[in-house]
Amino acid sequence: MSSLKISGAEAVIRSLIEEDVNLIYGYPGGAIMPIYDELYKFQDKLNHVLTRHEQGATHAAQGFSRVTGNVGVVMATSGPGATNLITGIADAQIDSTPMVCITGQVASHLLGTDAFQETDIIGISTPVTKWNCQVTKAVDIPIVLAKAFYIAKSGRPGPVLIDITKDAQFEMMEYSYKKCYSIRSYNPIPDYSLDMIKRASKLIDKAKKPFIVFGQGVILGNAEQEFKEFIEKTGIPAAWTILGLSALPTDHRLNVGMVGMHGNYGPNVLTNECDLLIAIGMRFDDRVTGNLSTYAKQAKIIHMEIDPAEINKNVECDVPILGNIKSTLPILKSLVKNNSHDNWLNEFLNYYNIEFSKVIDKEINPSKKGLTMAEVIKEINLSCKGNAIIVTDVGQHQMVTCRYAKFNKSKSNVTSGGLGTMGFALPAALGAKMGAPNREVVAVIGDGGYQMTIQELGTIFQTNSAVKIVVLNNDFLGMVRQWQQMFFEKRYASTELVNPDFVAIAKGYYIEADRVTKRKDLKSAVNKMIKSKKPYFLEVKVEKEDNVFPMIPTGASVSEIRLE
């Protein structure tokens, strides 16, 4: 490959183009100005989106990555610019989202001197990145960036941070680029054991009450079709974690709902009655398992997972199957017998009927005066027909949306799972819309989390991204208030909000906006929002003290799930 003499800053831009990057989210500043200057020269090849806060840039990159499967790219300056990325990086790490963050740094001779806007971003970001590296020589930039993209997207994906000193950005170098396809001692996809797959097939064929819990690994492995074929051959009921939602169509006959703290009644209770639990691409998070000492103790457990660190970390399994499930599931499918478990499936249906009469029907067809969050989601379902990407923040609205939203396509549920980041949804919805411009993107947000990144309305307006924003306003930090009501004797400490005029704020950003306070106006308002070809904001005033049920209290068993 012929070489080209250029600056380190230009090497950054050319390396991004070599990695097929065409979209960057970021915020300029002094220490990264040389890179931005070069970016200005390549505007025809790279679209840079100026967010209103660096945290917004990370969440936008996450939203883009989650709907496309591509690596999200973020740029920020040193000091506060870099530290403002940390929440989004931590969110991406725990939710396995591939992201490359490039930060500027003070000149190498100033490192460690407490220079203006100097922070040790390598030390700060080490616990929340898959890999990070500081570059002080221009010649290292192409090699390090190639390695960064490979690490971010290979195996179990995650965020990578590259910190580049200002002198390295100015320094001249002989540029050539070679993509990275392997790194010595790094094995992103572990070899699977055929013996373990055979053992698993025997357990599956023998089981009378098998149960599958699937997570985001199905989506990250692009194994939705393989997964669907596997469950249809075996006839095994399957339930999803929050991040696994949309890997299987919501209305599939073997899709029995959500597990976890606010999951469905049957999948939680019957976890402790199945004789075989097959965990596919999920990590046994505490919000899924409840009290580990009582979780599925009666069952044999098969765990299919790409990350060896997750095997036996929380739950001891009988048969671990390492590897990418896109490769291992077809082998397992070829070995198991055709089967059906209609009687067992009916047990899930019986529990669903109980949950429907005691919880669901009252939420989606309420007799109460005030609007419920669930009926808003019902109207969005009717208007979008299960084809929208729905982005949620964190709180009661998130649990209600995950419980009631309908999805026909994978990569349609975008939410902050493991970290639970308030403020995630608005910028993530922008990224999702830019990643899937031909799909409807609806952000469902609580009034608390909305105000944490509300400034990203400016980015949505400037990019003219047709994101539909729904704020479910109960004038409370609703999830915290629910816990205060149930476990702290209604001591509502610092959870009631005095909110601004959200409609006026949206209009201040030149975004069309409306407010719904009465049930009779809900359907027409939602339909008008969805039909709009531009960004649109809809505030819905909902019941102040509604709670989300079912619920597993902290420390309780999954079978102790409460319906009220």
Tokens representing 534?
A: 């531009």
Q: Is 218 helix (H, G, I), strand (E, B) or coil?
A: helix
Tokens representing 470?
A: 């729904």
**Closest-CA residue to 456 (of 435, 426, 414, 422):** 426
Q: Are residues 215 and 311 in the same domain?
A: yes
pLDDT at residue 554 in the model = 86
| E strand spans, 338-432 | 389-392, 413-415
Whole-prediction pTM value? 0.96
Enclosing domain of residue 313:
194-348
Q: In whole angstroms, give the CA distance from residue 563 to residue 264.
A: 10
Place of tokens 């070069």: 38
Q: In whole angstroms, give the CA distance from residue 549 to residue 561.
A: 9
Q: Which of 175, 204, 227 marks a domain boundary?
A: 175
Q: In whole angstroms, give the CA distance from residue 391 to residue 442.
A: 6
Q: Are residues 387 and 488 in the same domain?
A: yes
**Closest-CA residue to 280 (of 259, 263, 264):** 259
| E strand spans, 84-208 | 99-105, 131-135, 159-165, 172-175
Q: Are residues 145 and 217 in the same domain?
A: no
DSSP string, 10-28: HHHHHHHHHTT--EEEEE-
Q: Which helix (H) or strand (E) holds 200?
A: helix 194-206
pLDDT at residue 502 in the model = 98
The question of whether 479 is a catalytic residue gets the answer yes
Q: Are residues 250 and 338 in the same domain?
A: yes
Q: Are residues 430 and 508 in the same domain?
A: yes
Cβ neighbours of 186 (radius 10 Å): 12
pLDDT at residue 393 in the model = 97
**Those residues with Cβ within 8 angstroms of residue 76's Cβ, 6 or more apart along the chain or in another chain:** 26, 27, 29, 32, 54, 57, 82, 84, 85, 101, 102, 103, 104
Cβ neighbours of 497 (radius 10 Å): 17
The question of whether 211 is a catalytic residue gets the answer no
What distance lies between CA 533 and its chain's CA centroid? 25
Q: In whole angstroms, give the CA distance from residue 510 to residue 458.
A: 9
**Which residues in the chain show pLDDT less than 50?**
1
Q: Are residues 161 and 206 in the same domain?
A: no
**Radius of gyration of the chain from Cα atoms?**
24
**Those residues with Cβ within 8 angstroms of residue 452's Cβ, 6 or more apart along the chain or in another chain:** 422, 423
Q: Which member of 41, 116, 172, 202 is catalytic?
A: 116
- CA separation, residue 153 to residues 147, 181, 252, 558 (Å): 10, 11, 30, 34
Q: Would you say how long the chain is, in residues? A: 564
> In the 8-state DSSP scheme, what is residue 358?
I
**Which class for 492: exposed (0-12), middle (13-18), buried (19 or more C-beta within 10 A)?**
middle
Query: With b meaning 16 or more CB within 10 Å and e meaning fewer, what string describes 331-358?
Result: bbbeebeeeebeebbebbeebbeebeee
Q: Which of 147, 175, 203 marks a domain boundary?
A: 175
Segment 159-179, tens digit of pLDDT: 999 999 999 999 999 999 999
- State phi, psi for 540 to the nearest 5 degrees: -120, 120
- CA separation, residue 402 to residues 34, 99, 548 (Å): 43, 25, 11
Place of tokens 């929050």: 242
**Which class for 8: exposed (0-12), middle (13-18), buried (19 or more C-beta within 10 A)?**
buried
The question of whether 507 is a catalytic residue gets the answer no
Q: Are residues 526 and 386 in the same domain?
A: yes
Q: Which member of 10, 19, 38, 54 is catalytic?
A: 54
For the chain, give me the number of helices (H) and strands (E)? 24, 20
Mean model confidence pLDDT for the chain: 97
Q: Which member of 18, 33, 42, 117 is catalytic?
A: 117
pLDDT at residue 148 in the model = 98
pLDDT at residue 2 in the model = 54
Q: Are residues 155 and 268 in the same domain?
A: no
Alpha helices in 272-372 (DSSP H): 286-289, 325-335, 342-355, 361-364
Q: Are residues 160 and 220 in the same domain?
A: no
Q: Are residues 299 and 400 in the same domain?
A: no
Contact 400, 377 (CB under 8 A): yes
Q: Which member of 99, 422, 452, 479 is catalytic?
A: 479
The question of whether 54 is a catalytic residue gets the answer yes
Q: Is 540 helix (H, G, I), strand (E, B) or coil?
A: strand
Tokens representing 536?
A: 């649109």
Does 555 map to a domain?
no
Query: With b meaning 16 or more CB within 10 Å and e meaning fewer, what string describes 403-439?
Result: bbbbbebbbbbbbbbbbbbbbbbbbbbbbbbbbbeeb
Does 108 map to a domain?
yes
Q: Are residues 36 and 145 in the same domain?
A: yes
Does 96 map to a domain?
yes
Does 362 map to a domain?
no
Which CATH number covers residue 130?
3.40.50.970
* Dihedral sign (CA 457, 459, 461, 463): negative
Q: Are residues 398 and 482 in the same domain?
A: yes
Q: In whole angstroms, give the CA distance from residue 417 to residue 421.
A: 8
Which CATH number covers residue 218?
3.40.50.1220
Count of the separate structural domains present in the chain: 3
Does 139 map to a domain?
yes
Does 439 map to a domain?
yes
Does 36 map to a domain?
yes
Contact 412, 390 (CB under 8 A): yes
Q: Which of 316, 348, 380 marks a domain boundary?
A: 348
The question of whether 116 is a catalytic residue gets the answer yes
pLDDT at residue 367 in the model = 86
| E strand spans, 106-185 | 131-135, 159-165, 172-175
Does 189 map to a domain?
no
Would strands 441-446 and 468-473 be described as parallel, antiparallel, or unpaired?
parallel
Segment 284-336, tens digit of pLDDT: 999 999 999 999 999 999 999 999 999 999 999 999 999 999 999 999 999 99
Q: Which helix (H) or strand (E) holds 322?
A: strand 319-322
